[in-house]
Amino acid sequence: MSQLKKGQTRSVTLTLNGNVRSGDCEARTLLSDFLRHELGVTGTHVGCEHGVCGACTVQIDGVAQRSCLTLAVQAEGRRVDTVEGLSGHEDGLSDLQAAFRRNHALQCGFCTAGILMSCDDYLRRKPDPTEAEVREMLSGHLCRCTGYTNIVKAVLETAAERRAAVSN
Ligand code: FES
Ligand code: FES
C-alpha cells in the first residue's frame, strides 16, 4: 500500500451549485474546509466540527449531509449544493428563503444556511409534513437565537404554498 507523505495534496473535482470546480487538498481535509478555504464558498458555516450542530449541512447528490463529517476527497465527482445555489438565480430568494425572511425565522443567521439545506431536501421528500415531523427534522440543528418556532412556521408555510401551487 502506498503511503501518503505529510502535506501531500491531491486534486478534487466536483460540481458545485451546477458549476464544475476543482481544488487541491490533503486527504484529511474536511469538505467544509475545502468549500470555504479552497473554493472560497463561505455560505456554509462551521460550528462544532463533529456532526452535532448542523451548521455545515450541504447537499451531496441531493441529500443533506454534514460537510464537517465528509472528507473533501469523498466528494470527488459528486454534485454538491450549498446555500449559495439555493435560490437558483443570482438576485432572488427561493420560496423557502422568502418564507424564512417573512416569518423572522433567523436572527444571527449562523445556523441558517445549514437549516435551509436540510429543509430543502426534506420538503422534496416530504411535501406535507406535520408540525411534529418538522420539529423532529429540525432536531438535527442547533439554533441559539430563534427558539425554532418561526423556523417551523416558515417550513410549514413553504410546504403549504407548494401544495397549493401544484393543485392550481
Ligand atoms: S459544524 Fe458540522 S455539524 Fe457542527
Ligand atoms: S439564528 Fe442565530 S443560531 Fe440560529
Asked if 67 and 35 touch (Cβ cutoff 8 Å), the reply is: yes
Superfamily for domain range 95-167: [2Fe-2S]-binding domain (1.10.150.120)
DSSP string, 2-23: PPPPTT-EEEEEEEETTEEEEE
The three cell numbers of residue 121 are 431536501
What does DSSP assign to residue 83?
G
Superfamily for domain range 9-85: Beta-grasp domain (3.10.20.30)
Q: What is the pLDDT of residues 58-85, one digit of tens each?
A: 999 999 999 999 999 999 999 999 999 9
* pLDDT at 136 exceeding the cut of 80: yes
Compute the distance between CA of residue 29 and CA of residue 99 in angstroms, rounded to an integer.
34
Decide whether 9-85 matches 95-167 in CATH topology: no
Residue whose grid cell is 423556523:
151
User: Nearest C-alpha to atom 3 of ligand 2 is from which residue?
Assistant: 143
Give the pLDDT confidence score for residue 57 in this predicted structure.
98
Domain definitions of the chain by residue range: 9-85, 95-167
Any ligand 2 atom below 6 A from CB of 108: yes
Give the pLDDT confidence score for residue 91 in this predicted structure.
61
* pLDDT at 87 exceeding the cut of 90: no
For residue 162, how far is its CA from the centre of ligand 2 (angstroms)?
A: 25
Q: For residue 149, how many C-alpha atoms fall within 13 Å in the half-sphere facing its CB?
A: 1
Of 96, 92, 84, which Cα lies nearest the Cα of 43?
Answer: 84
Question: pLDDT-based confidence at 4, cuts 50/70/90?
Answer: confident
* pLDDT at 20 exceeding the cut of 90: yes
For residue 141, how far is its CA from the centre of ligand 2 (angstroms)?
A: 10
Q: What is the pLDDT of residues 146-163, one digit of tens each?
A: 999 999 999 999 999 999
Question: pLDDT-based confidence at 7, cuts 50/70/90?
Answer: confident
Strand partners for 13: 22
For residue 72, how far is its CA from the centre of ligand 1 (angstroms)?
A: 15
Question: pLDDT-based confidence at 2, cuts 50/70/90?
Answer: confident
More reliable by pLDDT, 88 or 86: 86
Look over the chain and give the mean of its residue pLDDT values, rounded to a whole number.
Answer: 95
- Report the predicted TM-score, pTM, of the whole model to 2 decimal places: 0.94
Give the pLDDT confidence score for residue 90 in this predicted structure.
54
Amino acid at 10: R
